[in-house]
Amino acid sequence: MANPAELHDDTEFVKFWNEVLAPKFIRFKHVLVDGLSQHSEAVFPALPVRVGDAVLDVGCGFGDTAIKLADRVGPEGRVVGIDCCDAFLDYARQDAATRGIGNIRFERGDAEIALPVNEYDFVFARFGTMFFTNPVNAMRNMRLALKPGGRMVHIVWRTRDDNPWLSMAKDVVMQFLPPPGEDAQTCGPGPFSMANEDMVRGMMKSAGYEDIEFKRVDAEVVVGKDIPDAIAFQIALGPAGEVYREAGEEAEAKKPEIEAALSMALKSQKVTGEGLMMPSSSWVISAVNPG
């Protein structure tokens, strides 16, 4: 049966993911997937996933977590990765095919509109839920995708202050450019929209979850192979990227000054064999669908 979400026109946010963000995410996949996977690696071994389970990965992006989950559930189980962005799904399907993984499927869908109902033992989302424009509704869809007693885990960023890998560059760029206006084009509420534990607990209760638990994970993440790569990443994506993009010609005119200031700010960060590292912090939130 067709996914009900496919029967709707794309929202402006889904269009933004496909048209504006996808090419930038592909360019900086080494930062976004290889770097940020540390937040899922930290919790993967303890996830309540059993051999034979049916698992849904919401906002699965390039599919790396869905592929790991497919390995966990084994051939008796199955994993579905859902994302609203065609280019990410193409990459994920190709990656799974290259690895010869047979128990996985990637589908186009908008979690805000609809998800399959009452089908899964476990629902997962790494850095996908913070972009929902109506988070209670979308998290209710995620709960309804679970069988009664099924568990969900989602990973979201904690506060700006604990995530200088995203917030520091914005502070620098804002010294040169105006803040984005009310009508700025965005991909939804943004990376820090689920930083507040009390607020998110309230949203999840409203979405019908029980047994809601928060676990803090701190990790140094790669922000680029070197300083020029990190600067290019920061002005393309994330909060600094939004300021830069919205400023248009003014940003392009001031690019040399902005890059010089970012270079100064990034110089003091740690360099390892992987690249330039900066601190980051997430919540790993787990909850149960009481049925």
Ligand X SMILES: C[S@@+](CC[C@H](N)C(=O)[O-])C[C@H]1O[C@@H](n2cnc3c(N)ncnc32)[C@H](O)[C@@H]1O
Can you list the alpha helix ranges (DSSP code H) found in the chain? 12-16, 22-27, 29, 37-41, 64-73, 86-98, 135-145, 164-173, 197-206, 227-236, 238-247, 249-253, 255-267
| Segment interacting with ligand X, rule: CB under 6 A, options 121-129, 208-216, 242-250, 280-288 | 121-129
115 touching ligand X, by CB under 6 A:
no
Residue 33 near ligand X by CB under 6 A: yes
Buried b (16+ CB within 10 A) or exposed e, 74-111: eeebbbbbbbbbebbbebbbebbeeeebebbebbbbbb
Shortest distance, CB of residue 94 to ligand X, whole angstroms?
15
How many CA atoms does the CB half-sphere of 283 hold within 13 Å?
Answer: 26
Instruction: Report if residue 85 touches ligand X, rule: CB under 6 A.
Output: yes
Span from 32-40, 178-186, 197-205, 256-264 in contact with ligand X (CB under 6 A): 32-40
Is 135 a residue that touches ligand X (CB under 6 A)?
no
Q: How many residues bind ligand X (CB under 6 A)?
A: 21
- Bridge partners (DSSP) listed for residue 210: 288
Q: Does 168 bind ligand X (CB under 6 A)?
A: no
- Minimum distance, C-beta of residue 203 to ligand X, in the bound complex (Å): 15
C-beta separation of 193 from 130 below 8 A: yes
Binding residues for ligand X restricted to 45-64, rule: CB under 6 A? 59-61
* 225 in Cβ contact with 51 (< 8 Å): no
Nearer to ligand X, 83 or 242 (CB): 83
- Rounded to a whole number of angstroms, the minimum distance from the CB of residue 85 to ligand X is 4
- Summarize as ranges the residues that interact with ligand X (CB under 6 A): 17, 32-33, 36, 59-61, 82-85, 88, 109-112, 126-128, 131-132
